[in-house]
Amino acid sequence: MRPLTITTLAAATGPVLKIIGDLDYETSSELRTAMDGLSITAGQTLVLDLAGLDFCDSSGISALISARNLAIERGGEIALAAVPANTLRILGIVGLDQVFTILSDPATATNRDLMTG
């Protein structure tokens, strides 16, 4: 099991969360906590960069859905970027590939350089 690391980056289009490690029952609350501190305003897109995601179980999927709900609640949108094949497969099986915007990389979502924030 690899610990979860969440780094917040700023882009002109909205916040980017770089998620590295295992997003599971033990760590999914960390994503929810990170979301609580985010400023997302109407028209912005929250990007979850999953390039470093090693493992995601049902609790992790639930945390992703919570992130989506929060972004929408605040008038924003959400995109998942660089989703690993195993997680993409799960999203497809449960139909969430139709709910989330899925992009090949974070730069596609932001169309700008990311800055540490």
Rounded CA gap, 97 and 92, in Å?
A: 5
Nearest to 50 by CA among 38, 61, 66: 61
Phi, psi of 29 (to 5 degrees): -65, -25
pLDDT tens profile 66-86: 999 999 999 999 999 999 999
pLDDT above 90 covers a percentage of the chain that reads 81
Start-to-end CA span in the chain (Å)? 28
pLDDT tens profile 20-53: 999 999 999 999 999 988 989 999 999 999 999 9
* Domains within the chain, CATH numbers bracketed: 5-108 (3.30.750.24)
Question: Residue 52 class from Cβ within 10 Å (0-12 exposed, 13-18 middle, 19+ buried)?
Answer: middle
Angle at 100 between CA 4 and CA 69, to 5 degrees: 75
